[in-house]
Homo-oligomer: A and B are copies of this chain.
Amino acid sequence: MALKDSYELPAAADMHVHLRNAPGPIAELVTPTIRKAGVDTIFVMPNLAPKPVVSVAEALEYKAQLQAIDPSINYLMSLYLHSSITPDEIREAKKAGIAGVKAYPKGATTNSQWGVVSFDPFHEVLKTMEEEGIVLNLHGEVPSNASEGVTVMNAESKFLPVLKNLVDKYPRLKIVLEHCTTADAVETVRSFGENVVGTITAHHLSLLVDDWSANVNNYCKPSAKSPEDRKALLNAVIHSKGKFFLGTDSAPHDISAKKGKGNTAAGVFTQPYALGYVLTALEEAIVRGDIASASEVTDDSLAGFFSIYGRNFYNIPQATQKIRLTRDGQTVLDSLKGTGAEIVPFRAGEKTWGVEWL
């Protein structure tokens, strides 16, 4: 048994997206591809460089700049959890419609150099977020540390006690464990109440450690892990029950940051084809047996994961438009080229599911 040949679904919401500085060559290349993927709403990450988004004013300015590129998208904006943020700024953020505050453990990933060492100094801010209903978005990894045995392979599992402490201390705080990559993370998110959820990317539904070891375009943080972990993610997608929804962590890097001099930038670029990749990964999982039966991939499970659950969590209206996904409906470009930027997408050159707006 296989998937259907096509699915009609509500327009998607991608609750974890990197668009980079706007105006800027990457934002101008990437932002117009959001709708192409069947997405009308995105949660925009604040880890800009050389300065992250740490105030309401900066977030609103960034939003306006993105709207200037594509006004048809609903941009959910976020702040970067930083010592300069006060409880008053959180209350202002709530009034201004800011959706979340992203916490980056210092040193864990791209542009995390201004990030969190301990959550203790943020107690008042976190309490205010809990009161105001502002979401805490967690990059769920501790920084690699040889003396403590932490590597990219166990950095997420070792973060889970930090998540548990936050849940204990702020029981009503809405928390997203972003880009879950392990069976451990899935299980831990499931163990909490409905105010704690996880996002899952498109690429982690396909990739294993082997796939990024030899392909820089598949390398990201958190890194893809074992077959058992991938299987847990795939089953979390189709049996989400609201606990997991799409957050692609689409992370565009110019080809020079991937294949040029110096170290490889972490990030997989999935924006234009995100839903297609998920369907392709689900089909491959059925063939492998990671998903027991295609009948588990219901229209409702796809609509929930792609669109409904994320909007519910962020308290925004459900989609009014519909999209149709069709098997082998498109071929992924070898690269996206713009003025001053070239970005290689995930699964470049391969067929994936196509998207039409209905």
Which A residues lie at the B interface, using CB under 8 A?
Answer: 144, 146-147, 149, 151-153, 208-210, 212-216, 219, 223, 226-228, 230, 259-260, 263-266, 288-289
Contact = CB atoms under 8 A, between A and B. Distances in A.
Contacts of A144: 208, 210
Contacts of A228: 149
| Total identical chains | 2
Contacts of A288: 146-147
Contacts of A259: 259-260
A149 B227 contact: yes
Given A151-B209, A153-B209, A210-B151, A227 B146 contact: yes
Contacts of A214: 219, 263-266
A283 to B, nearest CB: 15
Contact of A263 (B153, B215, B226, B260): B215
Given A151-B209, A153-B209, A209-B151, A216 B264 contact: yes
Nearest to A264: B214
Main SS class of interface, A: loop
A348 to B, nearest CB: 11
Contacts of A223: 213
Contacts of A215: 263-264
B226 A149 contact: yes
A260 B214 CA distance: 12
Contacts of A212: 213
A208 B263 contact: no
Given A214-B264, A259-B260, A263-B214, A151 B219 contact: no
Given A214-B219, A219-B213, A151 B208 contact: yes
A295 to B, nearest CB: 22
A38 to B, nearest CB: 28
26 contacts: A144-B208, A146-B208, A146-B227, A146-B230, A146-B288, A147-B288, A147-B289, A149-B226, A149-B227, A149-B228, A151-B208, A151-B210, A151-B226, A152-B209, A152-B213, A153-B153, A153-B209, A153-B226, A212-B213, A213-B223, A213-B264, A214-B219, A215-B263, A215-B264, A216-B216, A259-B259
